[in-house]
């Protein structure tokens, strides 16, 4: 007898309700009963969950902001100003959205660092690394499109530069550029496109990728790590996802909410000068997470920087497979990937800080 | 490598990441602080005014807070402060202030603009108070003891002579516990462009730069000028709205950079359309760089005067003390260095009087020079041929109006006066005078203004068509009719004049078109409308 048939035979109201929605609740219970390895009690192994939590904050605050935001060049800036100054708790929601976005990007990077250096991307979890990397892409695109929606001078011109970068991609570039801008220049269509990307396309893609990411984690199980001299007591090697681990995540969530509120209060989201398409500001800057790219652009040329970023991205995306191939071919020592990772991340940091010092 | 070592690596990188972010955040916030628009700066001197007027006139304070003045700490007393003993001053909450802010007050900071504005046509807008227009408002539309039409009409654009209520001894009447001087309500409030102020200054900066936000975008917008430059006698705003320039402006307002701080340069900051300010006041690009105009002398680039009965080209004589005088091209130009007798209008004892002042000529600007200035604006968007040909079209229209209608009509009016038919002291006694007045002052101006600013409908249907229709069907018959009232001899004389006039090439068409022309007309209506 299938679970659905079983549900249909149950008596009383419970049975009737189950017949209405013949879902095998055992599956959910089974999914929640995932045994979680002992080391996940350490907070820094919960960074993936942190990203998910912040994403939920983004969704909720984002919906609230959409109630008031008007995606037209003539009214965008004014509506953001109204959200910030007039709408009840508008400034708080907007500040939460802004800071949570920044926190989310930081958390994504930290999560990737952890996964990378603990080698959790290795066989059989290569595919999940790739999905995770795509999620990094959607997160950054979220940040970029969201920042542009504010329609202040810096964000407008940041978007212009980013579109130029996209247009410099070899072969498909001009088409991508045209598609993003909705024309040959950044104009009236661009804002609408960014808006649709930000509130429609990207969330959908992210939900799908997140679903796959979590599903694969559940299917593979979390990588079990054993720290030297930190053996878990027998019988405590694993604990339950629900409710033990969920509680840990919830507590981290509360702490994050507290942190977000503090930064939103101390550094509320401001509003620069309104975008003026006729006047290029003296200094154009994207958000900090694109500084490395911007520095690369200034150090090389538009074309070269795009090719370099693409190459670095492709290597990072396929790293689990590349590493496997390299170690098979060259018998790479265990330290090699660690060194590559340290150098790569330091390179990212150096370019980022360098750009902030460059006037 | 052990897992613990890797853990330390992750920790070290995370700390480095955090440190990098803090460095970036520190630098970013420093940059943002520098770029942020500063909020209103309320200095100690203004604190009292702001606190009190936030309750008593809060919108006024809000507007000021929105201004650039506020961002630089320029507040209430900086403009409203007055010296003890000034006519319009009184002690308000311990500070000597004046409600009336004149160009002289603005000149404390904006000296250059004051100097330029004071010699402009705008500053002299109040000097036309002794014109036919004023007679119409005060006499024709008004009545003894009530000049409300002039007060609410003419003076609100041209400016009033600001006067005070006087006691029996001629002293200024003061009222209230603060002894506030009582301004004659007929003369204040008044934001007329050529207001004649008690301190001797002429004009009102507020006419274009509305208080208390003083927004650049407002004074650069055509609607601002349209408050006065509109209506049957000078419909500049209507013509502009009808023109390609106006259409481009309203469609592309968002690309006009109207809010641009400091200079607003055509060809650098915006390109979508010219506004009134663009052509008549603002700076523009030339192949040599920016032609810094922003002169606040609005007539600088005008080469025709379109206001009088008969238009003339306008030369300009500038004297050593900066005084400027328009010279119609019918008047012989002096040479640089010549001593000339100039007529200056000043207010004495609250009355506008003419004063003759000897002055030395410093510079002569011909109408061609003035036109060159305007062409510089045009050349930002059009080429030489286009601009030159436009001016040819425009000049031809003015000449047509002048020669076909204005000059003969003026001649007939002069003859009627010389023959004693019209009383020079009674400008609106007879129908013919009203018809003649509207012919040049309303219809003739509309035609000329229409051509000057590319408004086809104003040039023709509201302009030349009306001129022609009223010239033939009202003016000439009225001339004969009024002459006839003085006897058959004069009647015959003027019938003869009209006959001679209508026999001229320009008017002979009235007697009938050529057969082929008449046939072409009939054919067109037949083919087009089957009628």
**CA-CA distances (angstroms) from residue B239 to B231, B236, B375, B459?**
10, 5, 19, 9
Interchain contact A325–B (C-beta under 8 A) = no
Residue B205 φ then ψ, to 5°: -65, -30
A27 within some domain? no
Nearest CA in chain A to B22: A353
Q: What is the number of other CB atoms lying within 10 angstroms of the CB of residue B358?
A: 9
Residue B194's nearest CA partner among B230, B226, B158, B153 is B158
Residue B79 has pLDDT above 70, yes or no: yes
Q: How far is B74 from chain A (nearest CA, A)?
A: 22
CA distance linking residue A38 with residue A30, whole number of Å: 19
Number of domains observed in the structure of chain A: 1
Instruction: Mark yes or no for CB contact A353/B23 under 8 Å.
Output: yes
- List pLDDT tens digits, range A312-321: 999 999 999 9
A160 within some domain? yes
Residue A39's nearest CA partner among A225, A306, A263 is A225
Nearest to A113 among B14, B28, B270 (CB): B14
A190 within some domain? yes
**What CATH number did the domain enclosing A190 receive?**
1.20.810.10
CA gyration radius, chain A: 23
Residue B64's nearest CA partner among B81, B39, B45, B88 is B39
- List pLDDT tens digits, range B462-484: 999 999 999 999 999 999 999 99
A235 within some domain? no
A23 within some domain? no
Three-state secondary structure call for residue B452: helix
CA distance linking residue B359 with residue B336, whole number of Å: 11
Q: How far is B443 from chain A (nearest CA, A)?
A: 40
| pLDDT for B33 | 60
- List pLDDT tens digits, range A31-84: 777 777 777 777 677 788 899 999 999 999 999 999 999 998 889 999 999 999
Chain A residues with CB inside 8 Å of B3's CB? 118, 225-228
A233 within some domain? no
CA distance linking residue B328 with residue B304, whole number of Å: 9
Chain A residues with CB inside 8 Å of B21's CB? 106, 288
Chain B residues with CB inside 8 Å of A267's CB? 29
Looking at the DSSP assignment, which residues form a beta bridge with residue B289?
B286
Nearest CA in chain B to A74: B254
Residue A185 has pLDDT above 90, yes or no: no
**CA-CA distances (angstroms) from residue A142 to A146, A348, B24?**
6, 20, 20
Chain B residues with CB inside 8 Å of A272's CB? 32, 35-36
CA distance linking residue B17 with residue B286, whole number of Å: 51
Element (H, E) at A249: helix A246-266
Alpha-helix runs per DSSP H in B153-294: 154-158, 216-220, 222-226, 236-242, 244-251, 276-280
Domain of residue A273 covers: 34-222+240-357
- List pLDDT tens digits, range A90-143: 999 999 999 999 999 999 999 999 999 988 898 899 999 999 999 999 999 999
A15 within some domain? no
Identify the residue with better confidence: B359 or A40: B359
Nearest to A227 among B4, B17, B257 (CB): B4
Are B343 and B317 in contact by the 8 Å Cβ rule? The answer is no
| pLDDT for B318 | 94
- List pLDDT tens digits, range B311-356: 999 999 999 998 999 999 999 999 999 999 999 999 988 888 999 9
A278 within some domain? yes
Are B302 and B375 in contact by the 8 Å Cβ rule? The answer is no
- List pLDDT tens digits, range A224-272: 777 777 676 776 777 777 777 888 888 888 999 999 999 998 888 888 8
| pLDDT band for position A347 (cuts 50, 70, 90) | very high
Nearest to A279 among B28, B254, B257 (CB): B257
Q: How far is B6 from chain A (nearest CA, A)?
A: 6
Interchain contact A335–B (C-beta under 8 A) = yes
Nearest to B255 among A272, A278, A288 (CB): A278
Which is it for the CA torsion B16, B19, B25, B30, positive or negative? negative
Interchain contact A226–B (C-beta under 8 A) = yes
Q: Is the pTM of this model over 0.80?
A: no
| pLDDT for A5 | 66
The mean pLDDT value of chain B amounts to 92
In A232-271, the residues whose Cβ lies within 8 Å of chain B are 267, 270
Element (H, E) at A259: helix A246-266
Element (H, E) at A18: helix A12-20
Q: How far is A199 from chain B (nearest CA, A)?
A: 26
| pLDDT for B31 | 66
């Amino acid at each position: 007898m299938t679970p659905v048939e079983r549900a249909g035979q149950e008596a009383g109201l419970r049975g009737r309700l189950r017949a209405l929605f013949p879902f095998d609740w055992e599956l959910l219970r089974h999914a929640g009963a995932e045994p979680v390895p002992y080391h996940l009690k350490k907070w820094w192994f919960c960074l993936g969950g942190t990203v998910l939590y912040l994403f939920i904050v983004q969704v909720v605050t984002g919906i609230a902001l959409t109630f008031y935001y008007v995606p037209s060049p003539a009214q965008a800036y004014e509506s953001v100003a109204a959200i910030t100054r007039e709408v009840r708790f508008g400034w708080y929601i907007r500040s939460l959205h802004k800071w949570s976005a920044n926190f989310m990007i930081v958390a994504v990077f930290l999560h990737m660092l952890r996964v990378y250096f603990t080698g959790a991307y290795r066989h059989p979890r290569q595919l999940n690394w790739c999905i995770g990397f795509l999620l990094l892409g959607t997160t950054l695109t979220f940040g970029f499109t969201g920042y542009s929606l504010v329609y202040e001078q810096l964000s407008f011109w940041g978007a212009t530069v980013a579109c130029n970068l996209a247009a410099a991609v070899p072969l498909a570039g001009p088409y991508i550029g045209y598609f993003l801008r909705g024309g040959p220049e950044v104009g009236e269509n661009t804002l609408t496109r960014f808006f649709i990307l930000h509130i429609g396309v990207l969330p959908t893609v992210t939900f799908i990728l997140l679903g796959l990411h979590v599903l694969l984690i559940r299917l593979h199980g979390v990588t079990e790590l054993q720290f030297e001299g930190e053996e878990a007591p027998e019988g405590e090697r694993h604990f339950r996802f629900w409710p033990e681990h969920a509680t840990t995540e919830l507590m981290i969530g509360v702490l994050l909410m507290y942190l977000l509120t503090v930064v939103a209060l101390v550094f509320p989201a401001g509003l620069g000068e309104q975008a003026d398409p006729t006047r290029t500001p003296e200094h154009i800057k994207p958000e900090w997470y694109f500084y490395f790219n911007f520095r690369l652009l200034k150090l090389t040329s538009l074309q070269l920087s795009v090719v370099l970023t693409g190459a670095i991205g492709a290597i990072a995306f396929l790293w689990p497979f590349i590493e496997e191939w390299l170690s098979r071919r060259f018998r790479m020592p265990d330290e090699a990937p660690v060194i590559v990772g340290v150098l790569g991340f330091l390179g990212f940091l150096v370019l980022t800080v360098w750009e902030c010092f460059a006037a | 490598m052990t897992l613990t070592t890797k853990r330390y690596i992750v920790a070290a990188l995370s700390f480095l990441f955090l440190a990098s972010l803090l460095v970036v955040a520190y630098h970013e916030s420093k940059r943002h602080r520098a770029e942020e628009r500063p909020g209103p700066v309320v200095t100690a001197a203004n604190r009292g005014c702001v606190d009190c007027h936030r309750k008593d006139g809060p919108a006024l304070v809000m507007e000021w807070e929105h201004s650039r003045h506020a961002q630089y700490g320029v507040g209430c007393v900086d403009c409203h402060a007055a010296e003890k003993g000034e006519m319009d001053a009184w002690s308000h909450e311990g500070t000597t202030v004046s409600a009336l802010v004149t160009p002289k007050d603005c000149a404390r900071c904006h000296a250059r603009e004051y100097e330029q504005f004071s010699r402009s046509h705008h500053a002299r807008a109040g000097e036309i108070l002794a014109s036919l227009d004023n007679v119409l408002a005060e006499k024709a539309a008004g009545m003894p003891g009530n000049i409300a039409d002039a007060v609410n009409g003419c003076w609100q654009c041209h400016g009033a002579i600001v006067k005070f209520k006087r006691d029996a001894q001629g002293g200024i009447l003061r009222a209230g516990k603060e002894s506030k001087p009582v301004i004659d309500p007929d003369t204040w409030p008044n934001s007329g462009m050529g207001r004649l102020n008690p301190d001797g200054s002429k004009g009102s900066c507020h006419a274009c730069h509305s208080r208390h936000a003083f927004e650049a975008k407002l004074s650069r917008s055509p609607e601002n000028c349209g408050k006065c430059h509109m209506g049957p006698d000078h419909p500049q705003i209507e013509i502009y709205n009808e023109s390609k320039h106006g259409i481009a402006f309203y469609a592309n307002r968002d690309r006009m950079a109207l809010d641009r701080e400091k200079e607003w340069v055509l060809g650098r900051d915006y390109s979508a359309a010219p506004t009134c300010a663009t052509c008549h006041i603002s700076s523009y690009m030339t192949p040599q760089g920016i032609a810094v105009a922003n002169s606040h002398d609005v007539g600088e680039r005008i080469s025709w005067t379109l206001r009088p009965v008969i238009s003339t080209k306008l030369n300009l004589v500038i004297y050593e003390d900066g005084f400027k005088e328009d010279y119609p091209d019918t008047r012989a130009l002096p040479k640089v260095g010549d001593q000339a007798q100039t007529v200056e209008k000043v207010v004495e004892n609250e009355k506008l009087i003419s004063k003759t002042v000897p002055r030395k000529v410093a510079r002569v600007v011909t109408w061609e020079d003035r036109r060159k200035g305007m062409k510089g604006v045009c050349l930002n968007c059009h080429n030489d041929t286009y601009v030159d040909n436009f001016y040819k079209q425009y000049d031809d229209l003015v000449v047509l109006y002048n020669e076909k209608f204005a000059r003969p009509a003026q001649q007939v009016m002069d003859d009627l006066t010389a023959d004693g038919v019209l009383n020079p002291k009674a400008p609106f006694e007879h129908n013919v005078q009203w018809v003649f007045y509207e012919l040049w002052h309303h219809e003739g101006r509309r035609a000329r203004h229409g051509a000057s600013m590319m408004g086809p409908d104003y040039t023709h249907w509201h302009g030349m068509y009306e001129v022609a229709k009223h010239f033939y069907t009202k003016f000439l018959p009225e001339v004969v009719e009024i002459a006839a009232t003085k006897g058959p001899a004069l009647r015959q004389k003027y019938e003869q004049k009209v006959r001679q006039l209508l026999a001229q090439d320009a008017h002979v068409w009235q007697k009938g078109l050529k057969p082929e022309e008449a046939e072409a007309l009939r054919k067109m209506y037949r083919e087009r409308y089957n009628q």
